Amino acid sequence: SNSIAQVAITTHGSDWYWTVTAIMIASTMAFVGLAATKPRQHRIFHYITAAITMVAAIAYFTMASHLGWTGIQVEFERPSDPEVRGQYREIYYVRYIDWVITTPLLLMDLLLTAGMPWPTTLFLILVDEVMIVTGLAGALVQTTYKWGYFTFGCAALLWIVYVLVWEARRHANAMGPNVGRTFLICGSLTSLLWILYPIAWAVCEGANLIAPDSEAVFYGVLDVFAKPVFGALLIWGHRNINPADLGL
């Protein structure tokens, strides 16, 4: 009964998902290729970053193929618009399978760069998993309780951003100017972009305010900056950093 949704992507959304799939495959190949030019002990950030874009490539392939979604009834979201009542919107749960794997890896990229102690890294990753799983639960819930899950997820994000912009940034600065500068660029980009994800969620999975094609563009642009662009800046920043100085 959920295999047909009235609020669905068109060929525009699908074409864009194929475009992002290609970007993710190309950047995975570039990161693995760059790794091969380095001694094995210097490849950790290449490999983490390549794994991130590799997982994203498969998630985008799934969405471009019009798979990885389930129909959620759009009933409570726009009571002012009776046309929308009883319709189904595509909810791409495959995003959350991607994010539950890739966002901990992005945090590892950042916290390993900052040389943070492992208990901090472990706890931040666990908080991140709470953020993603509450986002998925909220996306699948059809009643107003979805905003309760959203609120828990936003609280988790606030903690993550606090650790990045305050604790980890100060730690990175203490590790020297190259580490400090690389962390400032990549940590700031991450903090800015990650705050935009709950806005996308609110207007798509949350309130059903924008169409699935627009959702494809909103999340797709965010993901291209948060994964391949972030990864390129991080790997570039590490060109003058010895992993041994980070305890790696």
Residues that bind ligand RET (CB under 6 A): 99, 102-103, 106, 131-132, 134-135, 150, 153-154, 157, 194, 197-198, 201, 223, 226-227
Nearest CA-CA partner of 64 in 35, 26, 22, 105: 22
Smallest gap from Cβ 197 to ligand RET, in A, equals 3
Is the CB of 72 or the CB of 175 nearer to ligand RET?
Answer: 72
CA dihedral 10, 12, 16, 21 (to 10 degrees): 50
Phi, psi of 14 (to 5 degrees): -65, -45
| 32 vs 189 by CB, closer to ligand RET | 189
- State the nearest-atom distance from the C-beta of 200 to ligand RET, in Å: 7
Pairwise CA distance, residues 247 & 112, whole Å: 9
Cβ(169)–Cβ(184) below 8 Å: yes
d(CA 241, CA 35): 15
Nearer to ligand RET, 178 or 214 (CB): 214
For the bound state, the minimum distance from the C-beta of residue 169 to ligand RET, rounded and expressed in Å, comes to 18
Q: How far is the CB of 119 from ligand RET (least distance, A)?
A: 22
How would you label 136-166 residue by residue, b for 16+ Cβ within 10 Å and e otherwise?
bbbbebeeeebeebbebbbebbeebbebbbe
Indicate the residue whose CB is closest to ligand RET.
135
Q: Of 92 and 201, which has the nearer Cβ to ligand RET? A: 201
Give me the least distance between CB of 86 and ligand RET, in Å please.
25
